[in-house]
Chains A and B, each alone.
Chain A
Amino acid sequence: MSDRVAIVGVGWSGFRPKTPDLSYKELMYEAAVRAYADAGVDPRRDVDSFVTVAEDFIEGTSIFDEYVPDQLGAALKPVHTITGDGLHGLATGVMLIRSGIARVVVVEGHSKASNLLTPDTILAYAQDPVLNRPLRLNTHFVAGMEMHRYLYESGTTREQCAAVVVKNRRNALRNPLAAYGADLSLEEVLFGPPLAWPLGKRETAATTDGAIVMVLAAEEVARALRQDPIWIRGIGWCNDSPSLESREWGNLPYIQEAAQMAYQQAGLRDPWNEVDVAEIDDTYAYKELQTLEALGFCGYGEAGSLLESGAFDLDGELPVNPSGGSLGVGHMLDATGLMRTLEAVFQLRGEAGAHQVEGAEVALVQSWRGVPTTSGAVAILSN
């Protein structure tokens, strides 16, 4: 049994808005080959268990576990699919190793968002079928309402939310994996097309295709495999009451709880001073600010002015979403948590290139399953 779990290999493929040249299986295979080469493992010989994250409604295939093994080298091996975000998959990998069931675990997440021809219908199917869905509202309304209440309670401004878009899409220009790099002005974001007021369309992440594979290992295996394993020091997850009628719209208590769970495992007391880089939810621009506060980086309503002071810039006190986040890289559906973890691994290995945060030693990764959910997870990684 092992107490410490490390990420010993990462692989990716796609990271483009459309990938018509590859099937989802081939996308996964490309990412897997990279990850296994990076880790120096043979999946047929060395990997004990495989975990993928996928939502059947998004795949268009029921019981998606069945379509996973071949392209990961997992045929006739323990495999299961989790209907959750990539961080939930990572948490499962950690549990498999810490429980002693496996020493090497592979976690996979992918997005073939371009093949989803009716994404808003699928999103609507996350609404309560009896109480909410018959109202026939586009599910982005949930983000509009959450943003409105958050601005109302916290005093955060629309300008501050728009500034998140400007920062993240500029960061994306430095990231060769990011599909949506852009040099936008605050006005271009603020006066762009509306989506669900006060939320604008340019404050909403567009989707992208891609696959990410990670190899996790118990400490003794990790040390044998490489000099620079990235340690998963803490991982927590939490769900609030899903009801739209009764939830706390201005705050993210489930992110607070998930963070406490991760911080406790990691022995982290002062996130502002102990975390060097954060990759967190920015599916909608306001979420980045609301989430920073829920994670305890600053007080409620303080993230907006910190952002304006440059604290979250690439060269700021706490660089947030140096990859460009979902706004800059593109939203990868349930692979999003792994997309952020991939960036954290690059940062902690010093392999992030033009968007490298100097001397990053501790990274925080957070993810949310999107509207209308209150499902989130947080991980603390270190080198």
Chain B
Amino acid sequence: MTVRFKQFPGVSLSEEDFRQGKVLYQMDELKAEYAWDSGIAIGAYLAGLKRGVILGVRCSHCRKVVVPPRTVCEWCFRPMEEYVELPDTGTVNTFSLCYITWDMRRISEPEIPAVIHLDGTSELGPSSVIMGGILHKLGEVDPKEVHIGMRVQAVWKPAAERTGAITDILYFKPIR
């Protein structure tokens, strides 16, 4: 994993250990369900993903192009209505090698979350404080090979399996 950590010491506690009463606690399970109305901008974005397109939006005032779309430019507070179809390629802006899963299991083959600066969107710089980035995972790549500035492309779910969700893109892989 790293130079000093070749493996984790000890045994991690599992959900089962708690369930079997090996650890003392007061138990209450929160069964909360929420929906999130996706609305105009994110609704359009998700519909775009379903048909295999990444939609961004352009601010007619400051000319920024950002992804995902939103109805207001957070920088100049003008409405954003000019939707643009973006290529599904971009450049890794930052990434991490993540040795713990969503549900707190340690893993020795890391997951690779990354911010991908999509082609055709605004860059951070003197003219913009907002980048057109998409947060996703990288796949089909050796963790040791990943680097900032790496060129990547989206790998999509088959069209029939897409549901209009961020997971319609499986991951981004290096462009070779």
A: residues with CB less than 8 A from B are 19-26, 29, 42-44, 57, 60, 69-71, 73, 75-76, 112, 114-118, 121-122, 125, 129-130, 133-134
Residue of B nearest to A18 (CB): B37
Q: How far is the CB of B62 from chain A (nearest CB, A)?
A: 11
Q: Is the CB of A23 within 8 A of B76?
A: no
Taking a contact as CB atoms under 8 Å apart, the answer to whether A70 and B70 are in contact is yes
**Is the Cβ of B37 less than 8 Å from the Cβ of A60?**
no
Roughly how many angstroms separate A22 CA and B71 CA in the complex, as a whole number? 10
Question: How many A-B contacts are there with CB distance less than 8 Å?
Answer: 74
Residue B41 lies at the interface, judged by CB distance under 8 Å to chain A: yes
Least Cβ–Cβ distance between B34 and chain A, in angstroms: 4
Q: Check B150 for interface membership: any CB of A closer than 8 A.
A: no
| 7 more CB-based (< 8 A) A-B contacts, given A23-B37, A24-B36, A73-B77 | A21-B39, A23-B36, A57-B32, A70-B70, A75-B74, A115-B34, A115-B36
Nearest B residue to A133, CB-CB: B28
Q: How far is the CB of B46 from chain A (nearest CB, A)?
A: 11
User: From residue 45 to 98 of chain B, which have CB atoms closer than 8 A to chain A?
Assistant: 70-72, 74-77
Q: Which residue of A lies closest to B35 (CB)?
A: A115
> Once the chains are docked, how many angstroms separate the CA of A41 from the CA of B125?
28
CA distance in complex: A63, B104 (Å): 20
- The answer for the CA separation of A125 and B42 in the assembled complex, in Å, is 30
A25 neighbours in B (Cβ, 8 Å): 39, 70-71
Jot down 17 A-B pairs with beta carbons below 8 A, ordered by A.
A22-B39, A22-B40, A23-B40, A24-B36, A26-B71, A29-B71, A29-B72, A42-B77, A70-B70, A75-B74, A76-B129, A114-B35, A115-B35, A116-B34, A117-B33, A125-B30, A134-B28
Cβ of B26 under 8 Å from chain A: yes
Cβ of B14 < 8 Å from any Cβ of A? no
CB of B118 to closest CB in A, whole Å: 19
Q: Which of B26, B70, B72 has the most CB of A within 10 A?
A: B72
- Show the binding face of B for A, using Cβ within 8 Å: 26, 28, 30-43, 70-72, 74-77, 129
Residue of B nearest to A23 (CB): B39
How far is B37's CA from A207's CA once the two chains are assembled, in angstroms? 16
A130 touches B26 (CB 8 A): yes
Q: Contacts A26-B39, A26-B41, A130-B26; is A70 near B31 (CB within 8 Å)?
A: no
Q: Which residues of A contact B37 (CB under 8 A)?
A: 19-24, 112, 114-115
A121 touches B34 (CB 8 A): no
Give every chain B residue within 8 A of A23 (Cβ-Cβ).
Answer: 36-43
Contacts of A121 in B (CB 8 A): 30-32
Q: Which of B38, B71, B77 has its CB near the most chain A CB atoms (within 10 A)?
A: B77
Do the beta carbons of B129 and A60 come within 8 Å of each other? no
Q: Which B residues are in CB contact (< 8 Å) with A43? A: 77
Question: Is B74's CB under 8 angstroms from A69's CB?
Answer: yes
* Across-interface contacts of A44 in B (CB, < 8 A): 75-77
Which of chain B's residues has its CB closest to A130's CB? Answer: B26
| Chain A residue at minimal CB-CB distance from B36 | A115
What's the nearest-Cβ distance from chain A to residue B170, in Å?
25
Question: Bound complex: CA of A374 vs CA of B132, how far in Å?
Answer: 46
Which A residues lie within 8 Å of B41 (CB)? 23, 26
| B28 partner residues in chain A, CB cutoff 8 A | 129, 133-134
Q: List residues of chain A with CB within 8 A of the CB of B26.
A: 129-130
> A residues within 8 A CB of B35?
114-115, 117
Q: State the CA gap A246–B74 with chains docked (Å).
A: 48
In the assembled complex, the CB of A112 is this many whole angstroms from the nearest CB of chain B, namely 7
Q: In the bound complex, what is the Cα–Cα distance between A10 and B22 (angstroms)? A: 56
Q: In the assembly, what is the distance between CA of A122 and CA of B33, in Å?
A: 9
Instruction: Assess the B40–A26 pair: CB atoms within 8 A.
Output: yes
Inter-chain contacts of A117 with B (CB < 8 A): 33-35
Which of A42, A70, A76 counts the most B-chain CB atoms under 10 A from its CB? A70
In the assembled complex, the CB of B99 is this many whole angstroms from the nearest CB of chain A, namely 23
Whole-angstrom distance between the Cβ of B30 and the nearest chain A Cβ? 7
Q: Which of B32, B36, B40, B77 contacts A122 (CB 8 A)?
A: B32
Contacting residues, chain A, for B43 (C-beta < 8 A): 23
Q: A76 CA to B33 CA in the complex, in Å?
A: 32
What are the residues of chain A within 8 A of B70 when measuring CB–CB? 25, 70
